């Protein structure tokens, strides 16, 4: 059993922290909105702290699952008084590779280990404990932390040193955006040709065009239903990280750029909380 602090109880962090507790670890949580931490405590047990520093005091592992770069660095600043040598911070936030390296350098001043470990699998994966976790960090630190992350992760992979996990998450989001854009174009082509979406899915869903997005979003896209977990506001944030990193590396991302443009249009129309599959709505508007 390890003493764990979990900081950030959004739609992902809330069930993830619950899985940690269910797997026998001692867990103390903190959330910027204190009522959320109290709700978690009422549902799962464990401890709820009033401040990040109180949550982290005495912990072996500290998990972060917050909003973006500035939130990661702000939380690290807030917990400095409780840091101790040998502790490991695991950041499940989708942040930039540069943020990961900055956080690791800052924590190293206190003898604290760091793993950047962004997650994929959505709210359903967090609730089921079947997330994919992409990690960057030193091999021995990763090996020690992997069994703990198994509490909520099914696929946990180290890709390299600090920053590699966030870079892999960029690849993940680039691929999702491109897949959704292709699926939206294909579906609109099918609609114009008066093909039935459900029959079409049966016809092509077992072939080379198959994808998770096709299996889980094609029919709801055909019905123009976009009430699923991952808001396009967050996809824009993630694509922004990828596009910034690509610019620094001199890599062109034309499909990701086009998807981002469509998402920007939807945001400007007040649709930022819709699921990422709403990209088809942007194509509808362009006709």
Burial 218-249 (b: 16+ CB within 10 A, else e): beebbeeebebbbbbebbbbbbebbbebbeee
For the chain, the straight-line distance linking the first and the last C-alpha, in angstroms and rounded, comes to 58
Return the SS3 of 127: helix
The pLDDT of 226-235, averaged and rounded, is 89
How far apart CA 24 and CA 20 sit, in angstroms, is: 7
Asked whether 174 and 242 are in contact (CB, 8 A), the reply is yes
Question: Which residue has 């590699």 as its token pair?
Answer: 164
How far apart CA 64 and CA 82 sit, in angstroms, is: 15
Q: Tell me the per-residue pLDDT of 158-178, one tens digit each, with 9 for 90 and over.
A: 999 999 999 999 999 999 999
What length does the chain have?
287
Q: Tell me the per-residue pLDDT of 124-154, one tens digit each, with 9 for 90 and over.
A: 899 999 999 999 999 999 999 999 999 999 9
- 3 catalytic? Reply is no
Return the SS3 of 37: helix
- The active-site residue, picked from 169, 237, 248, 281, is 169
The answer to whether residue 229 scores a pLDDT higher than 80 is no
Q: Tell me the whole-structure pTM to 2 decimals.
A: 0.93
| CATH 3.40.50.720 domain position(s) in the chain | 3-161
In terms of CATH architecture, what is 167-285? Orthogonal Bundle (1.10)
The answer to whether residue 209 scores a pLDDT higher than 90 is yes
The pLDDT of 191-198, averaged and rounded, is 98
Q: Tell me the per-residue pLDDT of 26-54, one tens digit each, with 9 for 90 and over.
A: 999 999 999 999 999 999 999 999 999 99
| CATH 1.10.1040.10 domain position(s) in the chain | 167-285
CATH number for the domain running over 3-161: 3.40.50.720
The answer to whether residue 279 scores a pLDDT higher than 80 is yes
Handedness of CA 246, 162, 156, 33 (dihedral sign): negative
């Amino acid at each position: 059993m390890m003493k764990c602090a979990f900081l950030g109880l959004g739609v992902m962090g809330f069930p993830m922290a619950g899985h940690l507790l269910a797997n026998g670890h001692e867990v103390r949580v903190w959330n910027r909105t204190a009522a959320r931490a109290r709700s978690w405590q009422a549902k799962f047990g464990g401890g709820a702290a009033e401040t990040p520093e109180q949550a982290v005091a005495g912990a072996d592992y500290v998990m972060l699952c917050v909003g973006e770069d500035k939130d990661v660095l702000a939380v690290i600043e807030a917990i400095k008084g409780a840091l101790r040598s040998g502790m490991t911070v695991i950041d499940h936030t989708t942040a930039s590779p540069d943020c990961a390296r900055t956080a690791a350098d800052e924590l190293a001043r206190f003898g604290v280990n760091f793993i950047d470990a962004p997650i994929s699998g959505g709210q359903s994966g967090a609730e089921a404990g079947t997330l994919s976790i992409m990690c960057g960090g030193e091999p021995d630190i990763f090996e020690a932390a992997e069994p703990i992350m198994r509490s909520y992760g099914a696929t946990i992979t180290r890709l390299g040193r600090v920053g590699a996990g966030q870079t892999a998450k960029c690849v993940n989001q680039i691929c999702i955006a491109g897949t959704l854009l292709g699926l939206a174009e294909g579906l609109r082509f099918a609609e114009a040709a008066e093909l039935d979406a459900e029959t079409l899915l049966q016809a092509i869903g077992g072939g080379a065009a198959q994808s998770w997005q096709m299996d889980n979003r094609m029919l709801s896209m055909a019905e123009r239903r976009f009430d699923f977990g991952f808001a396009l506001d967050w996809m824009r944030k993630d694509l922004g990280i990828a596009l910034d990193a690509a610019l620094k590396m001199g890599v062109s991302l034309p499909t990701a750029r086009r998807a981002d443009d469509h998402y920007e249009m939807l945001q400007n129309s007040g649709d930022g909380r819709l699921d990422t599959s709403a990209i088809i709505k942007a194509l509808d508007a362009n006709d």
